[in-house]
Amino acid sequence: MTISTAPAPEPTSADRTPGTARRPARRHRHAREWWLAALLVSPALALAVAFKLVPLVRGVITSMESSAGFGGATFAGADNYLRMLDDPMVITSFRNALMVVATLPVWVVLPLVLAVLIHQRAPGWKFFRAVYFVPYTIAPIVVGIMFRQILAPDGPINAGLRTIGLDPLAIAWLNGRYSALFSLVAVALWSFFGLGVMTYLAGLATIPDEMLEAAYLDGAGFWRRLFSIVVPMLRPTVAYWSVLCASGVLIWLFPLIYALTQGGPGDATMLPEYLVFLTTFTFLDRGYGSAIGIALFVFVAVLSIFSVRHMFKEGTRKPR
């Protein structure tokens, strides 16, 4: 006890003497660090301000203007927002968005189950891990065109269903009121589930193996281990992925809608993100398009603010 505490005061006092002598130098260093910090953060700040914050503010301003076609803009106050409230297309698009968000449990659970199976070293786990990520590497627009061919009325899916005698299921997938939205979400899930598997695998790597092994030896079955051990331990990862999906399903679908359905049939697959594009660049109604864009931003921001809070904590937390 005495041995360990005795030498301690010595370095402190030795440290203090040069410390007081160096104080002006340190202040000088702080000033220099401030300039350096300003220099280092400026590229990032410039990018964020010029391409995110300025457009957002301009979007808010434009959304309060009435500007259709190529003519000039006039101030319109909240007109565009009021117009949205009784525009059936806008209401349908946000209702469709909610229906897409309602599929969230599948987005959260399916990759989790697959990740756990891979994590417990199922035979060929490396192969599965590599294959599951392949769809995510394919561009959504390519995925969309690919599946337009596969889901075509006389495409391979329907041909396969007819071959095994399930003729009634061989429908025009992209042309039905509900089957179109269903197909769109299924294709999106195909495209993104690999990212979820990878995210969960990263989280699973932080759970000590002994814990799962002990549960296995105690005779806990797969589902029991999944819900009693893995899910509670993985809560941060599950939360992160859920939030990412909740905000993502609203903004990942643009290229898929563009290639698969163009919002149709009718307004069956019209989602806010596609409606913004359509209103602004096809109908040239910039004020109204911006208003829908701001509404979409609020929708997404509310959902993703949780992940930002999580990221801020992670990024500023000191190591233990």
Residues 63-122 that bind other proteins (CB under 8 A): 114, 117-118, 122
Binder to other proteins among 22, 58, 95, 235 (CB under 8 A)?
A: 58
Q: Is 169 in the site for other proteins (CB under 8 A)?
A: no
Q: Is 68 exposed, middle or buried (0-12, 13-18, 19+ CB in 10 A)?
A: middle
The residue within the footprint of other proteins, chosen from 37, 82, 166, 211 (CB under 8 A), is 37
Among 198, 207, 215, 220, binds other proteins (CB under 8 A): 198
Does residue 201 interact with other proteins by CB under 8 A? yes
Number of residues interacting with other proteins: please give it, by CB under 8 A: 105
Asked if residue 182 binds other proteins (CB under 8 A), the reply is: no
Instruction: Quote the strand ranges of 44-152, DSSP E.
Output: 65-66, 74-75
CA nearest to 270, candidates 19, 98, 155, 120 = 98
The one among 6, 44, 85, 217 contacting other proteins by CB under 8 A:
44
Q: How far is the CB of 276 from other proteins (least distance, A)?
A: 6
Peptide bond into 111 cis (omega under 30): no
**DSSP state string for 270-296:** --HHHHHHIIIIIS-BHHHHHHHHHHH
Q: What is the DSSP track for 191-259?
A: HHHHHHHHHHHHHHTTS-HHHHHHHHHTT--HHHHIIIIIHHHTHHHHHHHHHHHHHHTTTS-HHHHHH
Q: Of residues 236-255, which lie at the interface with other proteins (CB under 8 A)?
A: 237, 247, 250-251, 254-255
Residue 170: which of 185, 181, 159 has the closest Cα?
Answer: 159
- What is the nearest approach in angstroms of other proteins to the Cβ of residue 9? 20
Does position 301 bind other proteins by CB under 8 A?
Answer: yes
**Alpha carbon separation from 259 to 140, 143, 174, 194 (Å, rounded):** 9, 9, 11, 21
Contacting other proteins (CB under 8 A), which of 16, 206, 213, 224? Answer: 206
Binding of other proteins by 26 (CB under 8 A): no
In the list 78, 91, 102, 141, the residue contacting other proteins (rule: CB under 8 A) is 141
The only residue of 146, 174, 212, 249 in contact with other proteins, by rule CB under 8 A: 146
Given 148, 173, 242, 245, the residue binding other proteins (CB under 8 A): 148
DSSP structural state of residue 68: B
Residue 103 beta carbon to other proteins: minimum distance, rounded to whole angstroms: 17
Cβ burial, residue 69 (10 Å; 0-12/13-18/19+):
exposed
Of the listed pieces 79-87, 89-97, 133-141, 207-215, which binds other proteins according to CB under 8 A?
Answer: 133-141
Q: Is 176 in the site for other proteins (CB under 8 A)?
A: no
Quick check: 307 binds other proteins (CB under 8 A)?
yes
Q: Is 202 in the site for other proteins (CB under 8 A)?
A: yes
- Residues 161, 167, 170, CA angle at the centre, nearest 5°? 65
Report in angstroms how near the CB of residue 217 gets to other proteins at its nearest: 13
| Rounded distance between C-alpha atoms, residue 268 and residue 85, angstroms | 19
Q: How much is the CA Rg of the chain, to the nearest whole Å? A: 27
